[in-house]
Amino acid sequence: MRVLRFWKPYDVLTKFTDADGRATLADYIDAPGIYAAGRLDKDSEGLLILTDAGALNARLTDPAFSHPRVYWVQVERIPDQAALDRLRQGVDLKDGRTRPAQADLLDTPPDLPERPVPVRYRKHVPTAWLQLTITEGRNRQVRRMTAAVGHPTLRLVRWAIGPVTLAGLQPGEAQPLAPNEIDALRRSAFRRR
Residues annotated catalytic, as ranges: 41
Strand partners, 7: 47
**Residue of 48, 141, 47 whose CA lies nearest to 101:** 141
For residues 59 and 161, give the distance between their C-alpha atoms in angstroms, rounded to a whole number: 12
In this structure, the number of other CB atoms found within 10 A of the CB of residue 47 comes to: 23
Q: In terms of residues, how long is the chain?
A: 193
Q: Are the CB atoms for 20 and 68 separated by under 8 Å?
A: no
Strand partners, 78: none
Helix axis angle for 54-61 and 179-190, nearest 10°, is: 50
Q: Are the CB atoms for 129 and 106 separated by under 8 Å?
A: yes
**In terms of DSSP bridges, do strands 174-176 and 96-97 run parallel, antiparallel, or are they unpaired?**
unpaired
H/E element, 104: strand 102-105
Q: Are the CB atoms for 69 and 136 separated by under 8 Å?
A: no
